């Protein structure tokens, strides 16, 4: 992955930059010792690493504003960071940057059950948002796989989803307001505990903007009353086509399961060897979960089972108890770990129209053969968000490049059938140079004009999201 040359003039001034930041902020906020900054040299896309100039770990919005204002004055690039769980390299540092981590802004600032919201520091982990309200019968809906570790700041940056987003939507559908600090240190309150506020909807623009526009320090999140219960069914099919048709029919029938998860044969095999969940030996496996009162669950499952049977399943397993439900989920929840046992892996995030599932799965199988690399598919089928996992060996010379080339082909395929490059992981550096397949030069241009409006110096999260060639002129003009 090509990165722009770090600015030698900034690196040369490291001592002065660190001193100015250290002087302006409470003790322990600025880290510059190489041994300590090492923990920040990559995120979950660990194939790419780069030690930053320094790391700032502020505790308040005002301290975040101070870091940004000083870096803006000194023209030092800033890479915002939540919990560092990005799969797309969204918080990969550059050698001339200050990493601005918001993990210490993690408090619950307000809960309001009557108006169904919670306000938290953006560094709070996803799962601990639910943790703060579940005793009162509420939960926060978006549930990325990394929810134990990932921060709300990163969820907002990438507009994260999760297995349950079919019913509840992704982050943007559950975000009511943010405090955003722009690169010049100005603090903006955007949105709030109400509907659409008039004027331009900057809240939705910021959601998914991958740290290009500002740093989110606080978030007001919609919380929902916990449903009475949930129950999954497991359905096995002899082909991906039939499983895809079953998914389409469930959606068309107007039932709204909270989750429809899909695993293909390579993934089922890996998972079964790893977890012993007792999954059937078949080409495609669906886990469909519904929620509600016992009567609602029964009614929805009756419709789903009826559709599933019409497609002639090789297996159809209901769950009569908590234990059986947990067993159905066991394999799915360990799928990424299981695939990881087979080698290094790269997890893609292309999203396609649901009706294209069978074609895309068949074509991925063909591409897998052509490139000689195994691909397992496990994904949120209800909304067409695929997660093909390419297995490779990072120690075999050339295999990383081959894997990236196959990944690029699969993502181009997603775009060709009317889908897109990324559903919930973001562009980061990983898909940056593929953006030209998704967007015309005019489309990229208008996006970059918006970036200009927020960050005219192009100092925030450099070399991410926009193809380097497309942004070159704007970056040069900004210097």
Q: Considering the complex, what minimum distance in angstroms separates the CB of residue 20 from a copy of itself?
A: 24
- Start-to-end CA distance of the chain, whole Å, equals 23
Of 96 and 143, the one with the shorter C-beta distance to a copy of itself is 143
Q: Considering the complex, what minimum distance in angstroms separates the CB of residue 109 from a copy of itself?
A: 14
Distance of alpha carbon 232 from alpha carbon 320, whole angstroms = 10
The neighbour count for residue 205, using CB atoms within 10 Å, is 14
C-beta separation of 87 from 44 below 8 A: yes
C-beta separation of 386 from 354 below 8 A: no
Q: Considering the complex, what minimum distance in angstroms separates the CB of residue 388 from a copy of itself?
A: 16
Binding mask 337-376 for a copy of itself (x = CB under 8 A): --------------xxxxx---------------------
Order of strands across the sheet that contains 175-181: 108-112, 117-121, 215-222, 175-181, 187-191
Residue 279 found at the interface with a copy of itself (CB under 8 A): no
Residue 198 found at the interface with a copy of itself (CB under 8 A): yes
Phi, psi of 463 (to 5 degrees): 70, 20
What's the distance, CA 378 to chain centroid?
Answer: 15
Structure-block tokens of residue 445? 């241009």
The correct pick among 107, 112, 306, 312 for binding a copy of itself (CB under 8 A) is 112
Residue 179 found at the interface with a copy of itself (CB under 8 A): no
* SS3 assignment, position 202: helix
C-beta separation of 103 from 125 below 8 A: no
The correct pick among 142, 208, 331, 462 for binding a copy of itself (CB under 8 A) is 208
What's the burial of 312, exposed, middle or buried (CB within 10 Å: 0-12/13-18/19+)? Answer: exposed
Distance of alpha carbon 328 from alpha carbon 277, whole angstroms = 7
The correct pick among 242, 287, 421, 429 for binding a copy of itself (CB under 8 A) is 421
From 31-39, 307-315, 359-367, 447-455, give the range in contact with a copy of itself by CB under 8 A. 447-455
* SS3 assignment, position 182: coil
C-beta separation of 223 from 118 below 8 A: yes
Residue 459 found at the interface with a copy of itself (CB under 8 A): no
By CB under 8 A, what part of segment 375-414 binds a copy of itself?
383-385
DSSP labels, 367-420: HHHHHT--EEEEEETTTTB--EEEEE-TTSTTHHHHHHHHHHHHHHHHHHTT-B
Residue 90 found at the interface with a copy of itself (CB under 8 A): no
Residue 453 found at the interface with a copy of itself (CB under 8 A): yes
From 13-21, 120-128, 206-214, 305-313, give the range in contact with a copy of itself by CB under 8 A. 206-214
Residue 186 found at the interface with a copy of itself (CB under 8 A): yes
By CB under 8 A, what part of segment 424-443 binds a copy of itself?
424, 426-427, 431, 435, 438-440, 442-443
Of 117 and 279, the one with the shorter C-beta distance to a copy of itself is 117
Residue 452 found at the interface with a copy of itself (CB under 8 A): yes
The correct pick among 225, 276, 369, 372 for binding a copy of itself (CB under 8 A) is 225
The neighbour count for residue 16, using CB atoms within 10 Å, is 10
Q: Considering the complex, what minimum distance in angstroms separates the CB of residue 115 from a copy of itself?
A: 4
Residue 66 found at the interface with a copy of itself (CB under 8 A): no
The correct pick among 23, 196, 323, 479 for binding a copy of itself (CB under 8 A) is 196
Distance of alpha carbon 135 from alpha carbon 95, whole angstroms = 45
Distance of alpha carbon 405 from alpha carbon 402, whole angstroms = 5
Structure-block tokens of residue 216? 């989110």
Sole residue written with tokens 């450099």: 462
Q: How many residues are given for the chain?
A: 479
Site size toward a copy of itself (CB under 8 A) is 84
Q: Considering the complex, what minimum distance in angstroms separates the CB of residue 149 from a copy of itself?
A: 22
Distance of alpha carbon 413 from alpha carbon 401, whole angstroms = 18
What's the burial of 457, exposed, middle or buried (CB within 10 Å: 0-12/13-18/19+)? Answer: middle
Q: Considering the complex, what minimum distance in angstroms separates the CB of residue 265 from a copy of itself?
A: 24
Binding mask 285-324 for a copy of itself (x = CB under 8 A): --------x-xx--x-------------------------
From 41-49, 229-237, 327-335, 450-458, give the range in contact with a copy of itself by CB under 8 A. 450-458
The DSSP bridge pattern shows strands 375-380 and 30-31 to be: unpaired
Q: Considering the complex, what minimum distance in angstroms separates the CB of residue 367 from a copy of itself?
A: 20
Binding mask 23-52 for a copy of itself (x = CB under 8 A): ------------------------------
């Amino acid at each position: 992955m090509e990165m722009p040359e770090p600015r030698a003039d900034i690196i040369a001034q490291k001592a002065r930059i660190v001193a100015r930041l250290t002087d302006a902020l409470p003790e322990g906020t600025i880290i510059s010792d190489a041994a300590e900054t090492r923990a920040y040299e990559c995120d979950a896309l660990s194939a790419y690493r780069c030690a930053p100039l320094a790391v700032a770990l502020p505790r308040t919005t005002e301290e975040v504003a101070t870091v940004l204002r000083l870096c803006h004055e000194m023209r030092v690039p800033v890479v915002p960071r939540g919990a560092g769980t990005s799969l797309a390299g969204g918080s990969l540092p550059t050698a001339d940057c200050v990493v601005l981590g918001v993990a210490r802004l993690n408090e619950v600032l307000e809960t309001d059950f009557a108006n169904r919201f919670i306000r938290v520091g953006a560094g709070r982990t996803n799962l601990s948002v639910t943790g703060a309200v579940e005793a009162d019968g509420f939960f926060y809906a978006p549930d990325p796989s990394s929810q134990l570790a990932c921060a709300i700041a990163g969820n907002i940056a990438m507009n994260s989803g999760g297995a349950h987003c079919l019913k509840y939507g992704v982050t943007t559908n559950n975000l009511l307001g943010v405090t955003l600090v722009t690169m010049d240190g100005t603090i903006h309150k955007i949105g709030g505990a109400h509907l659409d506020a008039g004027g331009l909807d900057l809240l939705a623009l910021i959601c998914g903007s991958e740290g290009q526009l500002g740093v989110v320090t606080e978030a007001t999140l919609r919380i929902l009353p916990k449903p009475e219960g949930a129950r999954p069914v497991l359905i096995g099919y002899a082909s991906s086509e039939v499983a895809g048709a079953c998914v389409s029919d469930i959606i068309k029938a107007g039932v709204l399961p909270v989750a429809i998860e899909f695993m293909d044969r390579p993934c089922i095999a890996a998972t079964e060897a790893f977890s012993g969940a007792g999954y059937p030996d078949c080409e495609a496996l669906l886990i469909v979960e519904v929620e509600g009162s016992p009567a609602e669950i029964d009614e929805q499952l009756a419709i789903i089972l009826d559709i599933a049977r019409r497609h002639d399943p090789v297996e159809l397993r209901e769950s009569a108890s908590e234990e059986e439900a947990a067993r159905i989920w066991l394999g799915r929840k360990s799928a990424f770990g299981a695939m990881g046992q087979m080698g290094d892996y790269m997890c893609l995030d292309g999203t396609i129209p649901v009706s294209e599932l069978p074609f895309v799965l068949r074509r991925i199988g063909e591409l897998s053969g052509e490139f000689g690399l195994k691909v397992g598919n496990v994904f949120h089928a209800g909304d067409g968000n695929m997660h093909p996992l390419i297995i490779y060996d990072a120690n075999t010379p050339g295999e990383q490049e081959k894997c990236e080339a196959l990944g690029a082909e699969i993502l181009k395929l997603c775009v060709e059938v009317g889908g897109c490059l990324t559903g919930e992981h973001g562009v980061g550096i990983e898909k940056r140079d593929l953006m030209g397949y998704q967007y015309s030069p005019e489309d990229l241009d208008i996006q970059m004009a918006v970036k200009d409006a927020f960050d005219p110096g192009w100092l925030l999260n450099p070399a991410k999201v926009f193809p380097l060639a497309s942004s070159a002129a704007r970056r040069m003009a900004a210097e």
